[in-house]
Structure 1
Amino acid sequence: MSKYDLIAIVGPTASGKTSLACKLAYELNSEIISGDSRQVYRQMDIGTGKDLSDYIVEGRQIPYHLIDIREAGDKYNIFEYQQDFYRAYKDITDRGKLPVLCGGSGLYVESVLKSYPLVNVPENKELRKKLQDKSLNELTLILSSYKNLHNKTDVDTAQRAIRAIEIAEYTLLHPVEASKTINLNSLIIGVDIDRETRRRRISDRLRTRLEEGMIAEVQGILDQGIQPEDLIYYGLEYKYITLHIIGKLKYNEMVDQLEIAIHQFAKRQMTWFRGMEKRGLSIHWINHNLPDAEKINSIKALL
């Protein structure tokens, strides 16, 4: 019996953490809980990198949770994620299994590893109207004025910045009862990938996903009536491809700007994970270049 309640696999985009988590879950006869803020949405498959083929190991389907649970266009938030995580966690552990959390959305992952008490914040239409014409830089400056806010690095669009300000403003003015949490003893594994390899993998993967039909995926969602601003809200692939589709970016501009944005995002992810260590979470880093069998044996030795 493991001394841990949860195994968490973290790392920047393109580090191979999903494949590793699935192979580990296969070895442990376990299940995956996603820690990704965008893979919750249906139809957003290529752009969010669901890589569902990774969840089939040696012919066996590895069960996964918190993927494809919301419709594209919805605004899913960290409070909802935390509650959904606890439901998935209880479901898995009630069946005697050790859950494996896998994802790169640092704030989402940390919210359960650190058991953050969260508040379900309603929409503030008056505040949103006041902020709607401000630039991302202006919004970031406003966001930094809230001393109690620790997630500004997770913001990469104006809409998400406005939501973060909305949350900060609400929690400042409304001392309400926060969500109930579960204190977990977690084994946290970080996939350590060097900068140049990470950059190469990101660039190669972007071109592969474009060839696989990522633009058609975004176009298909727009064709269903989802408004462009609702896809832009999700950032990265959905932001830049939508801007291309609606005529605001030429193809080459879209690819170049998106590639830069993903590299910047991966850098922010690593900054976040290093910050987690400073905030008291112990991460065992495993070299990306090791064979999978060695990585898994190293993890099993820690259990």
Structure 2
Amino acid sequence: MKKYDSITIVGPTASGKTTFACHLAYSLGAEIISGDSRQVYRSMDIGTGKDLSDYTVNGENIPYHLIDIREAGDKYNIFEYQHDFHEAYTDIKSRDKLPIICGGSGLYIEAVLKGYSLVNVPENKELRERYANHTLPELTKILESYKTLHNKTDVDTAQRAIRAIEIEEYKQAHPLEQNEFPPLNSLVIGVDIDRELRRKKISERLKARLQEGMIEEIQEILDRGIAPDDLIYYGLEYKYVTLYLLKQLSYQEMYSQLEIAIHQFAKRQMTWFRGMEKRGIPIHWINAEMPADKKVEEVKLLININHRSF
């Protein structure tokens, strides 16, 4: 049977997947490739949950890739991610190291696992003007009319929804060519966290991030001249905290709306991962409450059970 060429760890926000991935990387002498669509941006640390301290295990620094590679305000996309991913992946493999893909951006991860054919979709000014005054629910309904939906996990702002429509329109007019990158044969591990525990951890983490200075971090980005709309585009923490800083929301409104939005996002993440299984990507689910060392041992057991090596 074909050898695994990587390990992939997925899970919803607040499931502890980064800590798990780092301990696994330490045990296997591996390197981590981030599968997160927002951790690519510099200065956006607390809001994206980079938790860089997790990348030190027993005094050893775990190498990581595709974190802090773009400036805040940029519009990074899945096409760029796929190319950056394979550059990092090739580099890791050339040094006879094991890549561990870790993140919660299901579309990004599925794109590299299945070798999606992607194009760099240009801006369509006419389309953007046409939908400029539509509400997010209206845009979401338009998105749902497409048979092959590009992405429905991250469209929590009107800007992102318009971009998704832009991609679908372009795909219909420009049939995709043969895959540029091959699919990966990855051992995919899912961190399975109980719904109520997930909700509890999300709420606790939101409070902690606010205490750690998330609002101040976002204010500093705005003070550097980054347009508010560019931060709102990133959704979740950056959307609601920016609206608070613009005095369009009270602190309590920001807090409650953001908490609800993160819970909804985590639910959409799980829907995507279950969809991955239906689309032919087996996921081995591991209980989030297991200690990190036990999770590592279970992965090693899975490797042996499947009679495969790296």
Q: What TM-score, normalized to structure 2?
A: 0.95
Give the Cα–Cα distance (whole angstroms) in 1 for the partners of residues 200 and 103 of structure 2.
20
Q: Check whether the contact 1:119–1:179 (CA below 8 A) recurs between aligned residues.
A: no
Deviating beyond 4 angstroms after TM superposition, the runs of 4 or more aligned structure 1 residues are none
The residue that corresponds to 2:11 in the other structure is 11
Q: Check whether the contact 1:118–1:178 (CA below 8 A) recurs between aligned residues.
A: no
CA-to-aligned-CA distance 1:189-246 (integer Å, 9 cap, x gap)? 0001101111111111100100000000000000011111110000000000000000
CA apart distance, 1:178: 5.7
CA-to-aligned-CA distance 1:152-195 (integer Å, 9 cap, x gap)? 23311100111111111111112353651122111000001101
The residue that corresponds to 1:167 in the other structure is 167
Relative distance call for 1:21 and 1:240 in structure 2 (3 A) is same
CA apart distance, 1:269: 0.6
Give the Cα–Cα distance (whole angstroms) in 1 for the partners of residues 183 and 257 of structure 2.
40
Relative distance call for 1:12 and 1:27 in structure 2 (3 A) is same
Number of equivalenced pairs: 302
Q: Which runs of 5+ in 2 are unaligned?
A: 304-310
The residue that corresponds to 1:217 in the other structure is 217
Give the Cα–Cα distance (whole angstroms) in 2 for the partners of residues 61 and 153 of structure 1.
32
Q: Check whether the contact 1:4–1:185 (CA below 8 A) recurs between aligned residues.
A: yes
Q: Check whether the contact 2:202–2:263 (CA below 8 A) recurs between aligned residues.
A: yes
Q: Check whether the contact 2:153–2:265 (CA below 8 A) recurs between aligned residues.
A: no
Instruction: Tell me whether 1:138 sits opposite 2:138 in the alignment.
Output: yes
CA-to-aligned-CA distance 1:96-146 (integer Å, 9 cap, x gap)? 011000000111111111111111111111111111111111111211222
Give the Cα–Cα distance (whole angstroms) in 2 for the partners of residues 197 and 3 of structure 1.
35
Q: Check whether the contact 1:277–1:283 (CA below 8 A) recurs between aligned residues.
A: yes
CA-to-aligned-CA distance 1:38-93 (integer Å, 9 cap, x gap)? 00000000000000000001111100000000000000001100111111100000
Q: Show the 5 A alignment for 1:244-255.
A: 244-255=244-255
Identity fraction in percent = 71
The residue that corresponds to 2:118 in the other structure is 118
Give the Cα–Cα distance (whole angstroms) in 2 for the partners of residues 299 and 80 of structure 1.
30
Counterpart amino acid of residue 58 in structure 1: N
Give the Cα–Cα distance (whole angstroms) in 1 for the partners of residues 268 and 146 of structure 2.
20
User: The residue matched to 1:261 in structure 2 has which SS?
Assistant: helix
Deviates more, 1:55-64 or 1:148-157: 148-157
The residue that corresponds to 1:96 in the other structure is 96
Give the Cα–Cα distance (whole angstroms) in 2 for the partners of residues 92 and 281 of structure 1.
23
Counterpart amino acid of residue 136 in structure 1: L
Give the Cα–Cα distance (whole angstroms) in 2 for the partners of residues 149 and 268 of structure 1.
14
Give the Cα–Cα distance (whole angstroms) in 2 for the partners of residues 288 and 149 of structure 1.
30
CA apart distance, 1:150: 4.1
Counterpart amino acid of residue 213 in structure 1: G
Counterpart amino acid of residue 250 in structure 1: S
The residue that corresponds to 2:177 in the other structure is 177
Give the Cα–Cα distance (whole angstroms) in 2 for the partners of residues 209 and 43 of structure 1.
14
The residue that corresponds to 2:239 in the other structure is 239
Give the Cα–Cα distance (whole angstroms) in 2 for the partners of residues 278 and 73 of structure 1.
35
Give the Cα–Cα distance (whole angstroms) in 2 for the partners of residues 52 and 116 of structure 1.
29
Give the Cα–Cα distance (whole angstroms) in 2 for the partners of residues 177 and 187 of structure 1.
27
Q: Check whether the contact 1:155–1:161 (CA below 8 A) recurs between aligned residues.
A: yes
Give the Cα–Cα distance (whole angstroms) in 2 for the partners of residues 286 and 259 of structure 1.
26
Q: CA RMSD in A?
A: 1.1
Q: Check whether the contact 1:107–1:154 (CA below 8 A) recurs between aligned residues.
A: no
User: The residue matched to 1:286 in structure 2 has which SS?
Assistant: strand
Give the Cα–Cα distance (whole angstroms) in 1 for the partners of residues 278 and 146 of structure 2.
21
Give the Cα–Cα distance (whole angstroms) in 2 for the partners of residues 81 and 137 of structure 1.
28
Q: Which runs of 5+ in 1 are unaligned?
A: none
Q: Check whether the contact 2:231–2:239 (CA below 8 A) recurs between aligned residues.
A: yes
Q: Check whether the contact 2:206–2:259 (CA below 8 A) recurs between aligned residues.
A: yes
Give the Cα–Cα distance (whole angstroms) in 2 for the partners of residues 32 and 289 of structure 1.
22
